[in-house]
Structure formats: structure tokens, C-alpha cells
Amino acid sequence: MVRGSKQLSEAASDYVCVRVTDMSRIDLNEIEFDFDLTFAALVMHPDGTVYHRYGGRGPDEPNGYLSLESLCRLLRDSIPEHRAHEARAHRRKKRKVLHAIDLPVLRRKRARGQQIDCVHCHTINDARHVQAQLDGSWRRDDVFAYPDPERIGLSLDHERQHIVRKVKKGSPAAKAGIKAGDELLAVGEQQSVRTLSDVQWALHRAPFARNRLAVRIRSEGRERSLVLRLKSGWKRCPPERFAWRPTKWNLTPSPGFGGPTLQSGAAPAGNGQPQAFRMRVDYIVDWGENAHRGRAARAAGLKIGDIVVGFAGKRDFESFDHLHAWVGLTLKAGQAVTIDVLRGGKPLTLRYRLPK
């Protein structure tokens, strides 16, 4: 039992509520959501039909789209959809079951005697990533999962998340005729849109290549069907917009060290002067499967406690997460790079080749 608000209790009263804290026995051929999230919710039929997803976040707003009000509204508004689905004759689709614990990478670990106490959401991404690398099927573009609506030019309302808050000029959404205040009714495969996560799911399912995305909106009281023309590679986002994702830890190459951001190098809003990026090296990865990365940085002279102010000539990182994502998304293994550090207040430039 969990203590909650009366509002949530009432909104959830028609539901059977489940809290999943271990993904081991979750069928990945049925349940899919953005596994980079640390909190997610599904509203679904017991036959496996997912009505809505909830819990998505913006690149720089961890909790901006989470509120009790929006969650309760989703629960209330989804009941008619459930009743309609129940009224239709339907059978549970037969499908092959793939429990998360049976992902090939995790199965091999267990076969080697390694105990896996709990499969976290991000573990699924990690295991899939390793398997794709082993299969030779991994592509860097695969990391751009569950794109933010900003990739098509949309910014959504935080509370009523199917309502368009802003449209970027010149974007596919703007060219298709979507305006601020319009309601998204359906996007691609998602035939009923209520949340940011619904939109992200639809974008995730859309092809990475050039394509036409069908969208249905309500604009000034009138329903309209539109087509967004998306260019090849439209899901790619800049490293600073990707930086929040735990998936970045799987990218190659990787700097081989880490620690807290002491000062952001992002230009402040308005006319403020940009500050110098600073992060403190708290650890050098010289253990485990990626020990070679940290050893390369250590061999270059990097020490715990060094203050990193630049990497490969770039100095305007917003955070260490940004630096890490930038290295993984833009540099190549074997590339010669520099690390600009302060040690005891004195500047030093260290040089090494980024290992795989």
C-alpha cells in the first residue's frame, strides 16, 4: 500500500493498479516505453493494448511534464477509451513472449553464474546495446529513441500535454499548418494522444528516414488531417539535448573519467557573459569492461582532482553529461584529443587517443 492523495485515489478507483519495481518478468514484446526514464506509467487493457503512456520528460525539464493533475486527468479521460475497447470484440493477440531477464546478454550472464537481483529499465537498453554491438547491427543513430516533439518543431503544454504550446518557425509542424493552441488528436501510430509520452511513442515508431507523418488535430474547433514531411535523420538531436539520457554511458568513444560539474559553460540567457566550464575529476574508469578507457586518460596524465575546463578544444559544455554525450556522438575512437585541465590552479593540456 502506498500513501497517496485523495485525488489520485479517486482517479485510479476504476483501475487495477500495479507497481513494477523489477523488469525481469516484463514481456518486452508487449511492454515498450522509454527505458531511459526512471519513472513511467502505462494505462492499458489487460489484453496488452496500451492506451496511453505517461512520464516523459523534456531535455532540460526532468519533472516539467509530471504532475498529479495531469496524471489524474489521464486516468479519468482514459476510462471511456477503455469502455469502447471492451465493447469491441477482441482477442488477446498471440505473440512470442520475451521476458527482460531472458534478453540474450542477461541470459549469458546468468549462465556464467552471475546473479542478477533486479533488472532496471536502463538495464534493458544496456543489454540491447551490447547485443546489437555483438551482432554488428548497432548504429549510432539508434540512440535517438523517443524523440522530443521539438524534433518536429512542437512544444507541448505541461499540463494538457496534447495541446500545442509553441511551434518553431520553419519546422515540419509549422509547414504543415499546426499552430499554438491546436490540439493533437492522433500522431502516426498513436491514434489517441493525451500525453507527451504518447507523442514521443508515435515519433519513436516513425521511420528515421525521410517520411510523411500523419497527424490529426483540432484547430479552432475543427478537426483536420495533416501530413508532416520529415527529412532523413530528423530524430538526431544535438548532444546537449541528449545529455540527460543514461543511454549515453553506452556510447563509444567515451572520455574514461567523470565527476561533478562545478560550473556550466553554457551561455546564460540575456546579455550575461558566459562562464567557463569546469568539472572535477572524481573517478577515472580503470575497472570493469571499459577499464582501457580510463587507463588511456590516466596514461595521458589525468589525475583525480583535476579540474577539466575543455575537451578536444571545446570549452562550452553545459555539464559533464553534455561533455560525455558530445564525445560519444561526435568523436571517433582512435581520434587524437586534448584534455585541458587546471591542477593546483595551473593550466595543463593532456593529449591522448580516444580508445574504443
Partner 1 sequence: MACGLAAPNDLIAAMRQPFIVQLLAFGLLLCSGLPAQEEAEITWHRDFDAARRLATERGAPLFVVFRCEP
Residue 254 in the binding site for partner 1 (CB under 8 A): no
Residue 89 in the binding site for partner 1 (CB under 8 A): no
Residue 232 in the binding site for partner 1 (CB under 8 A): no
- Give the integer Cα–Cα distance in Å for 155 and 80: 27
Residue 71 in the binding site for partner 1 (CB under 8 A): yes
Bridge partners (DSSP) of residue 336 are: 353
Cα radius of gyration (the chain): 23
CB 58 within 8 A of CB 157: no
How many other CB atoms sit within 10 Å of the CB of residue 283? 12
Pairing of strands 164-167, 183-187: unpaired
Q: Tell me whether residue 25 or residue 110 sits nearer to partner 1 (CB atom).
A: 25
Residue 8 in the binding site for partner 1 (CB under 8 A): yes
- Write out the H or E segment, with its range, that includes residue 297: helix 291-299
Residue 7 in the binding site for partner 1 (CB under 8 A): yes
Q: Which residue has the cell 559553460?
A: 265
Residue 42 in the binding site for partner 1 (CB under 8 A): yes
Question: CB of 50: closest distance to partner 1 in angstroms?
Answer: 9
How many other CB atoms sit within 10 Å of the CB of residue 345? 6
Q: Tell me whether residue 25 or residue 210 sits nearer to partner 1 (CB atom).
A: 25
Give the interface size with partner 1 as a residue count (CB under 8 A). 53
Residue 100 in the binding site for partner 1 (CB under 8 A): no
Sign, Cα dihedral of 167, 38, 8, 92: positive
Residue 84 in the binding site for partner 1 (CB under 8 A): no
DSSP state of 195: S
Q: Tell me whether residue 14 or residue 141 sits nearer to partner 1 (CB atom).
A: 14
Residue 66 in the binding site for partner 1 (CB under 8 A): yes
Q: Which residue has the cell 574514461?
A: 256
Bridge partners (DSSP) of residue 346 are: 343
- Could you tell me which stretch among 34-42, 173-181, 251-259, 343-351 binds partner 1 (CB under 8 A)? 34-42
Q: Which of 73, 77, 82, 249 binds partner 1 (CB under 8 A)?
A: 82
Sites of contact with partner 1 (CB under 8 A): 1-10, 12, 14-23, 25-26, 31, 33, 37-47, 51, 55, 62-63, 66-69, 71, 75, 78-79, 82, 86, 118, 120-121
